[in-house]
Structure 1
Amino acid sequence: MFTESKFTLIAGAGPTGLTVARQLQRYGVPFRIVEKSSRPFDGSRGKGLQPRTLEVLDDLGLIDRFKESGGDYPALRVHRPDGETVEWRMDELHEPTPEVPYPNLLMVPQWRTSELLAEGVPVEFGVGVDSVEQQADGVRVTLDTGEVVTARYLVGADGGRSTVRRALGVEFLGTTHEDEQMLIADVRLSGLDRSHWHVWPADPGFRLGLCPLPGGDWWQLTAPPTDTPAEELVASVDPSITITEVGWTSRFRANIRMASHFRTGNVFLAGDAAHVHSPAGGQGLNTGIQDGYNLGWKLATGDDALLDTYEAERLPVAADVLGISTDLHRRHVTNQDDAMRRDDPVLRQLTLNYRGGPLAAEHRTAPGAVRAGDRAPDAPLGDGRRVFDLLRGGHATLLAFGPQTTLPALPASVPVHHVTAVAAQQAYDVRDSALLLIRPDNYVGCATQDPQDVIDYLKLIAH
Structure 2
Amino acid sequence: MDPVLIVGAGATGLTLAVDLARRGMPFRLVEARTEPFPGARGKGVQPRTQEVFEDLGVLDALLAHGGQYPLIRAYRGREVLGDQRIDELREPTEQVPYPNILMSPQWRTEQLLRDRLAELGGRVEFGTPLTGFTQDAEGVTATVGGRSMRAAYLIGADGGRSFVRKTLGVDFLGETLETQRMLVGDVRLTGLDREFWHAWPGESGALALCPLPGTDTFQLYAPPPADGAELPTLAELQDLVTATTGREELRLTELVWLSLYRANVRMVDRYRVGRVFLAGDAAHVHSPAGGQGLNTGVQDAYNLGWKLAAGTEELLDSYERERLPVAAAVLGLSSRLLQRDATEGLRRGRETHQLDISYRGGPLAPAGVETASGLAAGDRAPDARLAGGGRLFELFQGPHQTRLIFGGSRPGTDSPGERSFVITEESVRAVYGVPVGSTVLVRPDGYLGAIEVPALTAAR
Do both share a fold (TM > 0.5)? Answer: yes
Report if the CA contact (8 A) 1:328-1:339 is conserved.
Answer: no
**CA-to-partner distance for each residue in 1:202-260, whole Å, 9 max, x for gaps?**
2x474211000011210000012025522112111132211111111111111110011
- Which ranges of 4 or more aligned residues in structure 1 deviate by more than 4 Å? 405-409
Q: Which residue of 2 aligns with 1:341?
A: 347
Q: Determine helix, strand or coil for the equivalent of 1:84.
A: strand
- The answer for the alignment partner of 2:401 in structure 1 is 396
Aligned to 2:177: 177
- 2:386 paired with 1:381: yes
Alignment of 1:310-459 (within 5 A): 310-332=319-341, 335-336=342-343, 338-343=344-349, 345-361=350-366, 363-364=368-369, 368-401=373-406, 403-404=407-408, 410-411=414-415, 413-449=417-453
| Contact 2:370/2:376 (<8 A) preserved | no
Counterpart position of 1:68: 64
- Correspondence for 2:288 among 279, 286, 301: 279
Give the Å deviation of 1:368: 3.5
TM-score normalised to structure 2 length: 0.92
Residue in 1 aligned with 2:25? 29
Corresponding letter in the other structure for 1:411: S
Aligned AA for 1:357?
Answer: G
How far apart in 1 are the matches of 2:164 and 2:87?
Answer: 38
CA-CA distance at 1:408 after TM superposition: 8.9
d(CA) in 1 for partners of 2:170, 2:51: 32
Q: What letter corresponds to residue 399 of structure 1 in structure 2?
A: L
* Separation of aligned partners in 2, 1:253 and 1:420: 53
% identity of equivalent residues: 50
Closer, same or farther: CA 232–309 of 1 in aligned 2, 3 Å: same
Residue 459 of structure 1 corresponds to none
1:234 aligns with 2:241: yes
Aligned residues: 440
Give the direction of change, closer, same or farther, for the CA distance of 1:365–1:98 in structure 2 (3 Å limit). Answer: closer
Q: Is 1:306 the equivalent of 2:315?
A: yes
Partner of 1:38: 34
Aligned partners of 1:210 and 1:221 also within 8 Å: yes
- SS of the aligned residue for 1:186 comes to strand
Q: Deviations over 1:328-371 (max 9, x none)?
A: 12234xx20x231112x110000001001111155437654121
Is the 1:362–1:446 Cα contact (8 Å) retained in structure 2? no
Q: What is the RMSD of the two structures over their aligned residues, measured on CA atoms?
A: 1.8
Counterpart of 1:278, as a letter, is S
Shift of 1:442: 0.8
1:99–1:366 Cα change, 3 Å: closer
Q: Quick one: structure 1 residues 406 and 54, their matched pair in 2 at CA, closer, same or farther if it must change by over 3 Å? A: closer
Matched, 1:255 2:253: no
Provide the rounded CA distance (Å) in 1 between the counterparts of 2:32 and 2:410: 54
For the structure 1 residues 405 and 71, does the alpha-carbon distance in structure 2 shift closer, same or farther, using more than 3 Å as the test?
A: closer
Q: Which AA in structure 1 matches 2:240?
A: L
Larger deviation, residues 125-134 vs 379-388: 125-134
2:300 aligns to what? 291
Q: Which residue number in structure 2 is paired with residue 127 of structure 1?
A: 128
Gaps of 5+ in 2: 226-230, 456-460
CA distance in 2, matches of 1:83, 1:405: 67
Structure 1 unaligned spans of 5+ = 452-463
Contact 2:409 2:422 survives alignment (8 Å): no
1:407 CA drift (Å): 5.6
In the alignment, what sits opposite 1:102? 98
Q: Which residue of 1 aligns with 2:152?
A: 152
TM-score (norm 1): 0.91
Q: C-alpha separation between the residues in 1 aligned to 2:164 and 2:371?
A: 45
Tell whether the 8 Å contact from 1:9 to 1:33 is kept in structure 2 after alignment. yes
CA deviations 1:370-412 (Å, max 9, x no partner) are: 21101111110111100001000121000112x3379696416
Quick one: which amino acid aligns to residue 160 of structure 1?
A: G
